[in-house]
A and B are shown apart, each in its own frame.
Chain A
């Protein structure tokens, strides 16, 4: 007896894919784009969240001192600040210290180091608070010392901005991913619908044999699942491939801020969620397309 006859729905689905490769490619591409955007937004969300967490854990106000401020005045003011409620630490960054920091940050860019010396960089007081609740009060005290203080940089603005971007990325991202998912669903419905039309005679033959709707639908459902899974795998693979490839470089550049620190336990969870989403999206599109045809 020769080889076993192929009636497997998976084989039929594979056959469908091969028969119209450009349509299959279009379907996988739209899904892949969808998941590329979704995964990128997920990573961005984690990045902003990490940054926010970092900033919130280090509530800080920086006060730049006027050039003519004497060391005695600085010391006196520093002691005054250290005695306030909510102040954790007060660090004096002298002009020389500022120059060292500047040179370290820009060591790879010699153009930025030319013409810069300690005299043009201001000294500053970096005030750390025990909680971000105290930052407003500390910032007000610093702003009132107009004789000594040139400028006050208050991280709450930065924290508020980052918080705003986290919400924007999350909410805007959900809307964008929702829209892209809808577009993917429609495109795959159309593509599978076209394939069903091309198989109309075959489907009618199966119906005349007494095949159930599910029997007829099966190969197309598998095809939809394939598009969804491939899209999820490619989208995730590209984004996290880039993430892992550039992770060390970006970490070193932004050290000590831990922006690219998505936990190793979270990444498989993200992948699993995307796989399930892809499967669901592809399956739903295929089911809707076949249902439309079988109802006629």
Chain B
């Protein structure tokens, strides 16, 4: 899955969240979007997920222009993207297993396929024993792993992670990044918004740097500056 932002500006009232930014992410890329809080990272992610529309410019995912796409097509798009939110967005009244199952059901998987998928992703994120617990019963790291399991369960073409390491201890962070790396090696596009300079500097991946809504730099093997 590829993404293209073409001269995108996004304003919230008088506030300019993004100011004329353009970049492309090709299929299979692993891209960090970095910047301080308020730089516009989450706005970029919201635009790619079509949760908001740009004030100016165009947002493309594959050959779909998100600005003008019908809601049905946007829903289909979202089912192909695994998202790990900063605020988790897990369903509070469902267990970890049920949260993953809802994602599978929404993505169109048949009930017969759920069990295999569930076992697979729960093993991948090491949450097998905690799968019957509710989000309120999990630690921050476990919640993030549950989100990752939900994102991976649907065999996404792209994984988007918005500040996913905020609640994790260092060991878990690297386990998490290892998982993302593995997913990327399978050809899944990964876009991760973060202000964790350790991760960015260690991974040697493409880095798009934002500051106050402007695109400052876009480097193939970038560092957190």
Which residues of A are at the interface with B, using a C-beta cutoff of 8 A? Answer: 1-2, 5-7, 15, 201-202, 204-212, 215
Known: A2-B132, A5-B97, A5-B114. A209 touches B76 (CB 8 A): no
- CB distance A15 to B106 under 8 Å? no
Known: A5-B98, A7-B98, A7-B102. A210 touches B76 (CB 8 A): yes
- CB distance B85 to A210 under 8 Å? no
**Can you list 22 A-B contacts with CB-CB less than 8 angstroms, sorted by A residue number?**
A1-B119, A5-B114, A6-B94, A6-B98, A7-B98, A7-B102, A7-B105, A201-B89, A201-B92, A202-B92, A205-B89, A208-B51, A208-B78, A208-B83, A208-B85, A209-B102, A209-B107, A210-B75, A210-B79, A210-B107, A211-B75, A215-B106
B103 at the interface (CB under 8 A from A): yes
Known: A1-B115, A5-B114. A209 touches B103 (CB 8 A): yes
B14 at the interface (CB under 8 A from A): no
Instruction: Tell me how far the C-beta of A195 lies from the nearest C-beta in chain B, rounded to whole angstroms.
Output: 12
A202 vs B134: C-alpha distance in the bound complex, in angstroms?
14
Query: Which residues of B109-124 have CB atoms within 8 Å of chain A's CB atoms?
Result: 114-115, 118-119
Q: Which residues of A contact B78 (CB under 8 A)?
A: 207-210
- CB distance B91 to A205 under 8 Å? yes
Q: Which residues of A contact B100 (CB under 8 A)?
A: 5
B95 at the interface (CB under 8 A from A): yes
- CB distance B76 to A204 under 8 Å? no
- CB distance B77 to A210 under 8 Å? yes
A204 vs B85: C-alpha distance in the bound complex, in angstroms?
12
Q: Which residues of B contact A202 (CB under 8 A)?
A: 91-93
Residue in contact with B89 in the complex, picked from A5, A204, A215, CB distance below 8 Å: A204
A207 vs B78: C-alpha distance in the bound complex, in angstroms?
9
Residue in contact with B49 in the complex, picked from A1, A5, A208, CB distance below 8 Å: A208
B90 at the interface (CB under 8 A from A): yes
A247 vs B106: C-alpha distance in the bound complex, in angstroms?
54
Q: Which residues of B contact A2 (CB under 8 A)?
A: 131-132
Q: Which residues of B contact A206 (CB under 8 A)?
A: 91, 102, 106
Q: Which residues of B contact A207 (CB under 8 A)?
A: 78
B43 at the interface (CB under 8 A from A): no
B194 at the interface (CB under 8 A from A): no
B165 at the interface (CB under 8 A from A): no
Q: Which residues of B contact A201 (CB under 8 A)?
A: 89, 92
Which of B75, B95, B115: most chain A CB closer than 10 A?
A: B75
A268 vs B115: C-alpha distance in the bound complex, in angstroms?
45
Instruction: Tell me how far the C-beta of B6 lies from the nearest C-beta in chain A, rounded to whole angstroms.
Output: 24
- CB distance A210 to B106 under 8 Å? yes
Which of B51, B83, B90, B93: most chain A CB closer than 10 A?
A: B93
B101 at the interface (CB under 8 A from A): yes
A205 vs B83: C-alpha distance in the bound complex, in angstroms?
11
Q: Which residues of A contact B95 (CB under 8 A)?
A: 5
A127 vs B115: C-alpha distance in the bound complex, in angstroms?
85
